[in-house]
Amino acid sequence: MKTRALIVDDEELARAVVREHLAAHADIEILGEAANGFEAVKMASELKPDLVLLDVQMPKLDGFEVLALLEGEPAVIFVTAFDQHALRAFDAHAVDYLLKPFSKERFDAALDKARRAAGTKPAADLAPNLQTAAREGKPLDRIVVKDGPKVSIVPLDKLDFVQAQDDYVLLKTEGRELLKQQTLSSLESQLNPDRFIRIHRSYILNLERLVRLEQDSKEHWEAVLRDGARLPVSKTGYQRLKPLWDKA
Amino acid sequence: MNHPVLARRGRLIPYLLLWVLMAGLIAAPTRMQGCTWLESLGLALPMALLGAGIGLMPYYIARFMPAGRTPMARLSTVWCIAAIVDGAFWVAAGSWISARLLSQLPGLSRLPHITAQALPFLWAFGVLLYLACAAFYYLLLAQDQAEEAEQARLRLQMLAQDAELKALRAQLNPHFLFNALNTISALTSVDALRARDMCVKLSDFLRRSLGLGERAAVALSEELELCRGYLAIEQVRFGQRLRLDWQVEPEAERALLPPLLLQPLVENAIKHGISPLPEGGEVRFEAKLDGAWVRILLENPVDSDAPRPQGLGLGLRQVRQRLLGRFGEQAAFEAGIEEGRHAVRLRFPFQTEQP
């Protein structure tokens, strides 16, 4: 059976190199090419590729955001003009990557690795880690969510709070609710801890939305939000929240 | 050890003139007490000459006892003793000269007697002069220190400027370079001639950017040449996605500005205005003369999904700093979103190379 590949890059000429290198391999079938992140997610969910060659800097969604939204478990090779330094994290996570420009030998080696790994690597779980590493510790400024066939972008200043639901997080944003496959702790580690506070095992709150804090019982508080919603605050959550709330 | 008075003519001459004045101060009272001109000068000139020599000495003491860092008691003791001893030495040497050398000359036979009479006055005068010299050296030392500090500041500023330029050149960022090389790599098999052309473009751009960075100011035409070189490379990468509206008044091209001031702006316009948009957009560049001013406008589309920037980014801040650093208050820098497009406006005085 042929390995079915999707090429994702916003530059026509960059896609052409990848196409050319792939053409030398008879066992690879090119399913299509996407020129931006939205297209990539859409094509991936329709065509279900086994292999995605993914550019990192792209319009709309970057490579990490696309990776996080990929369904199934395609093998992913990042193709990027990033410098080596930023990519040390990739080594740690055994995701293969190609540095532009790359040689035929290097390309073929990456392809071999991807063939062996196809279907075995839960690539999507790595996305937050890779993204954090590539951003060199800078906190996230938006979250992308796959909402049926559509991709939604949630700018963080529109996010009210996040609620954990098993392996998912429920994002509450200006009256809308979006479900994303990620754990609350993983999301928490990507957010700026001065703006987004883990107030409870199951909740992260956007500090700007907080109107007041009410004490229910000795060790239990409630956060009242701008739109009237009430969220439970645990004891440790209160200890985290109080100093920031007093400062604000 | 360089003596601050001997090392500079600007100080030595006033110093000697002061001693001429001192000679007058010594001569005047004796003259009033009925000495002849010759006798008064016979006393005053050698004393002043000796004084000028001895007056150089306190500098060495001042140097080893910095005023701020020596206890007051020690400072005053040392100076009092030194002043009294050197004053005595001065008077003794003066007396010896007048008695042994000058008294042999015709008309000066009364000189040893006059000197002996003036001795207490001269001694006291010597002590005061000595202390005045000490104060004077402390002033000189402070002045030298201030000058040194100023020079160190200037050196640091130069270094910072250097480092800044290096940083700017480093900002011709690797990402751009690797992408350009990747484009070349892609073209080699599809279109060898275009690949070669791209190599030439890239080399031109690199050479130019290295050359410009060495200079303090460049003509707008040179800076724009660099920007166009940059854009030509990005044009190959982005193809139809990058559209240019380039409007430069030829007269404005002679204007001088710091090197690599506009290139980072153009790079920014591509990075934030073209690269994030699937359809790309139009980058508009305008440079014109407005009376004594040069006005520059750079506009690019923005990605409506991207978070609004908080204040100026590092790149824009650097450009603003360098512009104001060169032209001061006369220059103006504005950046922000206008009608859904990002606009950067520069205004600075029209200065040209002297022909």
The pLDDT value recorded for residue A203 is 95
B contacts of A57 (beta carbons < 8 Å): 175, 275
Q: Mutual orientation of helices B192-213 and B174-190 as an angle, nearest 10°?
A: 160
Q: Is A179 helix (H, G, I), strand (E, B) or coil?
A: strand
* Tokens standing for residue A48: 């279900």
The pLDDT value recorded for residue B197 is 93
The pLDDT value recorded for residue B172 is 65
**Cβ-Cβ contacts under 8 Å for B97 (sequence gap 6 or more):** B46, B50
The pLDDT value recorded for residue B1 is 53
Cis, peptide link before residue A101, omega less than 30° from 0: yes
What ranges make up the beta strands (E) of B65-122? none
A contacts of B307 (beta carbons < 8 Å): 141-142, 155-157
The pLDDT value recorded for residue A136 is 60
The pLDDT value recorded for residue B112 is 81
Range among A95-109, A199-213, B38-52, B130-144 rated most confident: A199-213
Is the confidence at residue A91, as pLDDT, over 80?
no
- Contact call for residues A70 and A52 (beta carbons, < 8 A): yes
- Contact call for residues A198 and A240 (beta carbons, < 8 A): yes
- Contact call for residues A214 and A221 (beta carbons, < 8 A): yes
Task: Give the residue from chain A lying closest to B277, CA to CA.
Answer: A59
Model confidence band, residue B311 (pLDDT cutoffs 50, 70, 90)? low
Q: What percent of chain A has pLDDT over 70?
A: 86
Largest CA distance in chain A: 70
CB contact under 8 A, B185 and A101: yes
Dist CA B134 CA B157 (whole Å): 34
Dist CA B181 CA B199 (whole Å): 8
Is the confidence at residue B299, as pLDDT, over 90?
yes
- Contact call for residues A13 and B183 (beta carbons, < 8 A): yes
B contacts of A36 (beta carbons < 8 Å): 278
Chain centroid to CA B154 = 4
Top residue of B179, B271, B272 to mutate, by most chain A CBs within 10 Å, is B179
Is the confidence at residue B49, as pLDDT, over 60?
yes
The pLDDT value recorded for residue B75 is 87
Render pLDDT for B153-166 as a digit per residue (tens, 0 to 9): 877 776 776 666 66
- Reported pTM: 0.65
Q: Indicate the average pLDDT of chain A.
A: 85
Task: Give the closest-approach CA distance of B317 to chain A in angstroms.
Answer: 19
Residue found by looking up tokens 């969510």 in the block: A145
Identify the residue with better confidence: A244 or B174.
A244
Is the confidence at residue B332, as pLDDT, over 80?
yes
Model confidence band, residue B309 (pLDDT cutoffs 50, 70, 90)? low
Choose the weakest-confidence range: A71-85, A195-209, B56-70.
A71-85
Structure letter (DSSP) for residue B250 = G
Dist CA A147 CA A70 (whole Å): 12
H/E element holding A44?
helix A37-47
Render pLDDT for A33-87 as a digit per residue (tens, 0 to 9): 999 999 999 999 999 999 999 998 888 888 888 888 888 778 888 888 876 655 6
β-bridge mates for residue A203, sequence order: A163, A200
- Contact call for residues A42 and A62 (beta carbons, < 8 A): no
Q: Indicate the average pLDDT of chain B.
A: 87
Residue found by looking up tokens 């990539």 in the block: A40
Is the confidence at residue B14, as pLDDT, over 80?
yes
Of B179, B276, B305, which is closest to A100 when you measure between CB atoms?
B179
Dist CA B55 CA B95 (whole Å): 18
A contacts of B182 (beta carbons < 8 Å): 13-14, 17, 81, 100-101
Task: Give the closest-approach CA distance of B269 to chain A in angstroms.
Answer: 14
* Tokens standing for residue A88: 């040390």
